[in-house]
Structure 1
Amino acid sequence: MKKLVVIFSLLLVLTACGAKNNAGGNGGAEGESSERTTVKVGLTGSESKVWSYIADEAAKEGIDVELVFFDSYPLPNAALASGEIDLNNFQHKSYLEKEVAQHGYDLTVLGETVIAPLGIYSNQLKDVSEIKDGDKIIIPDDVTNGGRALLLLEANGLIEVDDAAGYTPTLKDVTNPRNFDIVELAANNTPAALAEAPLVVINSGVAVDAGMIPTQTALVLEDAAVGDSPYINVIVARTEDKDKPELKRLVEIYHTDKVKAITEEETKGSSIPVW
């Protein structure tokens, strides 16, 4: 009888130990941590095959990526600075510099991604030269992309821009001898303006989101020379978080050949990887 009591007691101990290990142990294969961390990534548009792939890959390593989409350019940096998201990837260097200077954000570039040439589009004309004096031209209304658009119009002989304005000229820096009606519009709304304006300058990513293929649809694409271009897009974090391993790991996953291939497919070759 005593032997039976001892055996029964041992079984209870072993069962309890097994339950404890299952409840508070590794929760999976040996050596695999059950601890997970969530990273919220701010983007513009409505979807991203690149970041969906990165999210899938990161999940295998215990990093849960939540994609947060914004419909206006100023929002992702404000959300990042306030702690609503952990990273964003929607802007080029020049835009980031202007936002930091204007709002005092303490943000840091973690990695470079692509350069996406700005384009001139039209549903009415087959060539930029067909535009008539006084016609309407739509450009993005944010400082950097608006300035970039003005420089593209100058490069195509439509206006003149004061060299002293650098990369970010505004309408006050423009000489407009043909009296074009140059109208500024939120970047995400520029594709809709093709119904009313002979020429519209559209960001590459916005054009792709609207169903266009910039390398085929645009009348003219910006010269997208890679190097020290201020128009290289970047992944950005709060400066205080720049050394977090989970954020660095997402950048590493981005900088792979697989992401290059997805970028080529998703943007139809209109976004050029720079890593």
Structure 2
Amino acid sequence: MKNFTYITLILLIIASCGSPAPGDKNKSAAENESMAAPADSLTLNGYTFAEATSMVKELRKDPVSSHARTSIWFSKAYIDSLSQILPLENVDGFRIYFAKKNGKNAIVMVATKDTTIKNPDGTTSKIHQDYFELKSAFFKTGGRVEAGNIIHDAPLSGIATASTADCTEIPCNKSLNSISCVLGKSWVNQFGKDPINIRNLWYSTRLIHYWKAELDAAVRKGAKGDGIRIYFAKKDNGNTALVMVTTRDNGTKRSDYYNCYNDNKKNILDVNDNGEECPVMCHGSTWE
């Protein structure tokens, strides 16, 4: 009887070694392929796959925000480059993972591709699969890819202190689900040193094209659009969020602005800057 028990136990151990990990058992082969990214793969904000993995895992081990305020700024030149290059890479969007680097809040920004997967029941689904095999020389040339200028606990400014006049809603080319200036201000001010409870947020590449069109229009009209700022934020329901604001040089470089200089609605329509949340909508994510 004992021999039978030992043999059974050994067989169970062998079987379990070939089974998918608990977090992977519902993933398709296409989703798991992203974990085998090339060693020289880069994220959209310049981290290697190994660096990005380490940063995401660091936050998972200690999810409490390192600071009460965090924002990341990207230049107009960088947004212009992404708007031009990403369509050539045939990507459909980008996913922003909350992360930490050396104990401080950070983000990992990854391109995604529209991918069809086969479900266990034989049906198919479309997902936004993380994509690391960017072919453009832009992502392989030193100094071109921006990690973003990260600022922690800066004095309250920008959208956090926007006045009612600043936040006067001007019709923009965004969807009804987009984050308004008033809502963005509230969410940014609600963020604090609390646990970051959302793993990542997905956005369409149309948002990048929207930013480019808006900043180009600001430059044409003398407003000197110079980039975008991404704020860590907290929704009314307690979920961690990101609030994205265009910036300009109004005597002070990288100053937030909230009005819309791009009045060509045929150019960009129905853009959403309120990202799809994981852990609810996670299919295609590398680090769930």
* TM-score (ref. length: structure 1): 0.27
- The structure richer in helix per residue is 1
